[in-house]
Each structure stands twice: as C-alpha cells, then as structure tokens.
Structure 1
Amino acid sequence: MSNIKRQELTKLTEKLMKRKECHFQKHEVERLIIMFCKLTGGCHEKLDRAKFRDILHKCFCMTDDMLMDRVFRSFDTDTDNYLSHEEWVIGLSIMLHGTYEEKCNFCFVAYDLNSDGWISREEMFQLLKNSILKQVSEEDQDENIKELVEIVLKKMDRDHDSRLSLQDFKGTVKEEPLLLEVLGPCLPNKPEHNLGPYS
C-alpha cells in the first residue's frame, strides 16, 4: 500500500471526505492519497510543479505550458508553490467532478494570470495567443488576437469596465456553459480519466 499506514490513510481519507468540495467516493480518495504518496515519497511531502505538469500532460493531454502552470495555481490554494495531499485530492475533485460554481472559480483563477481578481485585456491577449493559426506577419496575428479579445469582452463584460470580474464570468457562463473555457482548456475534456502509471 505504498509508504502509508492503513490507520493514517483512513484518518486522512475521513478528513477529506468531510470537505464539501470532495466529490469522490471513499475508495477513490484512498487511491488518490496512495498515488500522492507514490509520487512524493510520503503523504506529508509536497508535489512540485514539474511532476504535476507531467501528470497533466500524460493523463489529461494538456500541452499548453501557460495553462498547465495556471491549473497548478488553481490547485495550490495556499500559494506555496507545492501541492499537499489535501490540495491534490480537492483540486482533482473540483477539476473532474466539481459543481458549476467550483468549476467557474477554478477556471477564473487559472485565467487571472496576475491573481488580482480580474481578467484584463492583457491577460486575455496572453491566453488567446496560441488559439490563432500563425499568419504571414506577427503584426497581423496580434491584430487578430486583439479582435478576439474584443469579442470576448463584448460577450462577457457585463458591467462594461473593460475587464472580467468573477461575477461577469459566472453570469455569462451560467447563460452559455460552453464559454467556461473560452480563454483556453484548463479542464479535462474526457468523461473518463486514466491516471495510468500514477495509480
């Protein structure tokens, strides 16, 4: 059972099962804690950004470096640049089985590049850079991205202050759920996920 004792595993599992953000069944939480211990060497160790990005790439087919870093930020609720076993389980729970509210918060944190509570034009520009095919000139490409940013703002900026608040984001996504990942894929797109060699 990896390097964690049954009694400790039970205690950690029960604690996590009491969290309202935990949408896993008991046996799934146990497996995720065991997986975390295998990845880090113990349940009281921390998971670093590089290993986490490797998991996102191999298990969820994520490839965008910026978005993988931002998904890490959505998991890292104490902002210490490492993930605890609790952040690992709760982050996966929200990412895979979260409520509408939880997924909106998760995506918003991922898109708020400077963590100031707003998604600005500049942040949208950075996030949308990889969504347009390369044009003949870089100048044309920048113009196309700026047009995309204006389209997103027109659709989502409900209070017309030229930036997106969490309230703007949630209100628009509630009306049009397909806009949840309008600024880039930060949630897995498959209904079933295989953590493969990590499980």
Structure 2
Amino acid sequence: MSNAHNITRKAVQVAIDDLSAKKVHFGKGEIESLLHIYKTITKNQDRMDRLKFRDVLHNSFDMTDDILMDRVFRAFDRDNDSYINMTEWVEGLSIFLRGTHEEKIRYAFTVYDLNGDGYISREEMFQMLKTSIIKQPSEEDPDEGIKDLVEIALKKMDKDHDSRLSFQDFHQSVLADPLLLECFGQCLPDQKKKLAFEATFKKTHTIY
C-alpha cells in the first residue's frame, strides 16, 4: 500500500528539474502548469490513483473503453505501484500528447500487449476489438465478425507468421501504414481533444 503525502514546494522543484533534464516535450512553464493540474486533481497529494486518472481520460479525452483506460494507466505507471506520481504524469503526457512517431508506436504496443509478455496475441486482439467496436443489432453473431477482423489484422501485420504480433511486427506495420497505430482501439487523443487539453496548460500557473 502506497501512502500519499502532501506535495511540498521542494518536491515540485525537484520534479521540475528532473523533468527538464529528461527533455520531455514540454517547456519549463508547461511542466509547472501540468504539475499545477496534477495538484488540483489529487488535492495536493503526491499520488494519483486509477480512478482519478480514468476521470481525466474520460472527461478530457472522451475515452470510454475500460480495458484501454486501464492499459493507458499502466503505461503511465512506470514503477507499477498502482499510482501515478508527478514525474510519471508529465512523462506520460509528453508521449500521449506530443510523442514522436517512434514513441507513440512503442506506447501503443505497450497498451495493446494486455498481459505484458511482449506479444499481442489473437486473444488480446479479440478482447480489445470486442469492447471497442459498436455492435450492430442486425448481427447474428458479432463475435464471428470480430474474429474475421483479427485474422485480417494478423494477415496484414504478422510479418514472421507466428500467429501473434511482436513489437517488430507492429513497428514495421505502423511505419508502412500509420493508420494502423490505433488499430485495436483508441489509446491516444484525437487532435481536437489534444489541443483543448493543451490550451489548459499553455499559460504558466503559480503552483506554490
């Protein structure tokens, strides 16, 4: 169990210096603003739990898929302590909002690799597509249609023909066709939501 503490002025300054040194895709003023947002969400606690983070994904980015929201949380939570700290918050948003193509490919693969074994399996594809695709009432067996989509995805992306997607398979496929980046469900914000969220931290806040 991780105990939360109030965020001190020193802790904020340490986080700003640490993040600036890591060269995230934000300027110092933007980092300060993002930490101000973090403090507001957590009520000045140094831990953001899963529910608060899901609220951000749902309210700011219209994400509704429980599986993918959980996986995005895990992608942000790099130390696997079931909380997002200040550094993880800014580092995660750096990729989520402004990541390079390479960073986004690695991030999306991490999200889609549900069990963390380094591969996206048939079962994982099926699970994600089943929750992200809107079922048509006329379909007799929607699962069959999803299975067909899984086979189409494998045929297109499984370069070494081992019936699962390695990072290399996924990487090569997305480089060849960037539209495949979010082929198993929304794990990144659309442009409109991204710009709206960025507008909330463009102006530097005083966070002390």
Instruction: Using structure 1 for the length normalisation, give the TM-score.
Output: 0.89
Q: Secondary structure at the match of 2:195?
A: coil
Match of 1:182 in 2: 183
Unpaired runs of 5+ residues, structure 1, are: none
2-side partners of 1:4 and 1:46: how far apart? 13
Please tell me whether the aligned partners of residues 48 and 82 of structure 1 are also in contact (alpha carbons under 8 angstroms).
yes
**Count of residues paired in the alignment:** 194
Q: CA deviation at 1:118?
A: 0.6
Match of 1:37 in 2: 39
In structure 2, the CA distance between the partners of 1:145 and 1:173, relative to structure 1 (3 Å rule), is same
1-side partners of 2:92 and 2:119: how far apart? 21
2-side partners of 1:84 and 1:11: how far apart? 13
Kindly provide the amino acid, as one letter, of the partner of residue 158 in structure 2.
D
Q: Secondary structure at the match of 1:82?
A: coil
For residues 104-136 of structure 1, the C-alpha deviation after alignment (integer angstroms, 9 at most, x for no partner) is: 111111111111111000000001013142344
Match of 1:102 in 2: 103
Please tell me whether the aligned partners of residues 132 and 141 of structure 1 are also in contact (alpha carbons under 8 angstroms).
no
1-side partners of 2:62 and 2:134: how far apart? 20
Q: Secondary structure at the match of 1:46?
A: coil
Match of 1:11 in 2: 14
1-side partners of 2:7 and 2:88: how far apart? 19
2-side partners of 1:11 and 1:54: how far apart? 27
Q: CA deviation at 1:74?
A: 1.0
2-side partners of 1:42 and 1:15: how far apart? 19
Please tell me whether the aligned partners of residues 132 and 145 of structure 1 are also in contact (alpha carbons under 8 angstroms).
no
Q: Secondary structure at the match of 1:83?
A: coil
In structure 2, the CA distance between the partners of 1:197 and 1:173, relative to structure 1 (3 Å rule), is closer
Q: CA deviation at 1:9?
A: 3.2
Kindly provide the amino acid, as one letter, of the partner of residue 15 in structure 1.
D
2-side partners of 1:75 and 1:3: how far apart? 19
1-side partners of 2:79 and 2:196: how far apart? 26
Q: 1:21-170, aligned counterparts within 5 Å?
A: 22-42=24-44, 45-129=46-130, 130-136=132-138, 140-170=141-171
Kindly provide the amino acid, as one letter, of the partner of residue 71 in structure 1.
V
Q: CA deviation at 1:14?
A: 1.8
2-side partners of 1:10 and 1:47: how far apart? 18
C-alpha RMSD over aligned residues? 2.2
Instruction: Using structure 2 for the length normalisation, give the TM-score.
Output: 0.86
Please tell me whether the aligned partners of residues 76 and 83 of structure 1 are also in contact (alpha carbons under 8 angstroms).
yes
